[in-house]
Amino acid sequence: MSEIAKASGLTREALYKALRPDAQPCFDTINRVCTALGVRLVAQARPYLMEIADDH
């Protein structure tokens, strides 16, 4: 946890607080943690929604 906190630029305490079950961390916090873990978040439209967009 200490390594992830350091790599994400968060304190260890802030990281534990953000990852509590009842927490509602902001996107920036989640993005920092994902980057520290080597995870890339990708937003992708579902095929059904893409078909609707093509119809208009």
| Residue 50 binned pLDDT confidence (cut-offs 50, 70, 90) | low
Inform me whether the pLDDT recorded for 38 exceeds 90: yes
| Residue 32 binned pLDDT confidence (cut-offs 50, 70, 90) | very high
- Rounded CA-CA distance 32/7 in Å is 8
Q: Given this model, what pLDDT does residue 44 score? A: 85
- Rounded CA-CA distance 34/40 in Å is 7
If you search the block for the tokens 């609707």, which residue do you land on?
52
- Rounded CA-CA distance 24/51 in Å is 33
Q: Given this model, what pLDDT does residue 51 score? A: 65
Q: Residue 21: how many CB atoms within 10 A of its CB? A: 4
Mean pLDDT of 26-41: 96
CA atoms within 13 A on the CB side of 47: 0
Inform me whether the pLDDT recorded for 10 exceeds 90: yes
